[in-house]
Structure 1
Amino acid sequence: MQIIVNNEEELDKVVDQVLPLLEQHKIFAFDAKMGSGKTTFIARLIGAISEGADVSSPTFGYVKEHETNLGTVHHFDLYRLEHEEEAYDIGIEEYLYGDEICLIEWPKKIENLLPENTVWVNIEVAPDQARIFDIAL
């Protein structure tokens, strides 16, 4: 499924498509270049399932937990991860194979560890600065 977003206000179009997927899938991999809007979208998504969530990038701690209407959501930013093996130090397997939702920025750093049923959300920046969201189940 592909959705084109021309501005931040239109992100709700993508949120509306992802929300039902949260009921059936637990792992979401957000793949995009720096500055493409991964954290902005994840903040909007978490905001849609919680009240008053303060969502920012967990870059320096790798993971932030958010209590939502759907239970705990783990927001990962793996940008600083240098080797896949480092993910084991943060207990990545417990998160990936647990029952809680995981939203992962920079997932290619742990691609070999991700479950087969991971939902991939690729974000590209178009020449006109629109964002192209490609959601693959």
Structure 2
Amino acid sequence: MEFTYHLENINSVAEQILEHLDSKIVLFNGNMGAGKTTLVNALLKAMQSTDIATSPTFSIVNEYQLPEDKVYHFDFYRIESIEEAYNFGIEDYLSSDHWIFMEWPERISELLPENAQTIIITELEDSQRSLKLTINKESLTENNAMTVPKF
């Protein structure tokens, strides 16, 4: 699925994304400021959560409540090694049956399950975004436009 949208239409975009997801593990790929957390917030709203998504850059993971489930929202931007992900128990999160939203997932690419779906967000002019929803994590390696920060 691919389309272009204005930020003021993000809530309807979130509803369309949810209709096309086949996995509860969603990888968000896009440059800094592309709107990954903004989209996560819209997805939470579409999932009837009363929580507000904030960037988990410093906490690494935020937890949001849904009516009958929960969402773990990760930001791996500050992860310096795969061992850090193991240290906070990433395997436990991945083996849960809860929703998992990951920003900067390429930092832990070797740990990502094959059934994860990827959302690639690209900034365009005039508050527009291009969004591509793929069926699995393979798109992380296909999209060479994203710059992964190295420490």
Segments of 5+ residues of structure 2 without an aligned counterpart are: 136-151
Deviation at 1:5, TM superposition (A): 1.1
For 2:130, the equivalent position in structure 1 comes to 132
Deviation at 1:133, TM superposition (A): 0.5
Aligned partners of 2:96, 2:51: CA distance in 1, in Å? 22
For 2:4, the equivalent position in structure 1 comes to 4
Counterpart secondary structure, 1:85: helix
Aligned partners of 1:70, 1:125: CA distance in 2, in Å? 33
Identical aligned residues as a percent: 39
Aligned partners of 1:16, 1:78: CA distance in 2, in Å? 25
Aligned partners of 1:123, 1:61: CA distance in 2, in Å? 23
Deviation at 1:51, TM superposition (A): 4.0
Aligned partners of 2:33, 2:85: CA distance in 1, in Å? 23
Segments of 5+ residues of structure 1 without an aligned counterpart are: none
For 2:91, the equivalent position in structure 1 comes to 93
Distance 1:70 1:106, change over 3 A: farther
Distance 1:30 1:113, change over 3 A: same
> Deviation string for 1:30-69 (max 9, x for gaps)?
0100000000010111122134212211111110111102
For 2:16, the equivalent position in structure 1 comes to 17
Distance 1:51 1:102, change over 3 A: closer
Q: How does 1:57-76 map to 2 (within 5 A)?
A: 57-76=55-74
Distance 1:97 1:51, change over 3 A: closer
Aligned partners of 1:61, 1:100: CA distance in 2, in Å? 19
Normalised to the residue count of structure 1, the TM-score between the two structures is: 0.90
> Deviation string for 1:93-127 (max 9, x for gaps)?
11112211100000100111100011000011124
Asked if 1 retains the 8 angstrom alpha-carbon contact of 2:49 and 2:65, the reply is no
Aligned partners of 2:93, 2:130: CA distance in 1, in Å? 28
Distance 1:14 1:59, change over 3 A: same
Aligned partners of 1:13, 1:53: CA distance in 2, in Å? 18
Aligned partners of 2:109, 2:55: CA distance in 1, in Å? 20
Normalised to the residue count of structure 2, the TM-score between the two structures is: 0.82
